Amino acid sequence: MALKELRETPKNVLIGLKQLKYLLENETNIPKDMPKNNERWLMNFLRLCKFYPESAKEKILRHLELKKKFSNFLKNSQIIDLKDFKGKNFFYVLKQED
């Protein structure tokens, strides 16, 4: 299923991570503490975007913008699942279960 639905092949994973890291290195609007070298964190966005690095970069930038805009709301929350409302470009935060 991951291969068909997400295009998650070993080749796409390697290329996607490499290109996404490169795109983020050249981005000036991201905070210094963003985990841009954390492959597990980056994979969340790549899977969400079917391993298209440019789309994943845009999702990351929207995520960071929302995190900054709603920092008081998210202060004690952990984003554990990002879902894209089809065509709406919204994210929502799910409460972490204990």
47-77 residue pLDDT tens: 999 999 999 999 999 988 888 887 776 665 5
Tell me what pLDDT residue 84 has: 45
Rounded CA-CA distance 97/56 in Å is 26
Q: 78 and 96 in contact (C-beta within 8 Å)?
A: yes
Question: CA dist 21 to 51, 70, 83, 84, Å?
Answer: 13, 25, 22, 22
Q: Which amino acid is at 38?
A: N
pTM over 0.85: no
Torsion of CA 41, 11, 47, 60, to 10 degrees: 50
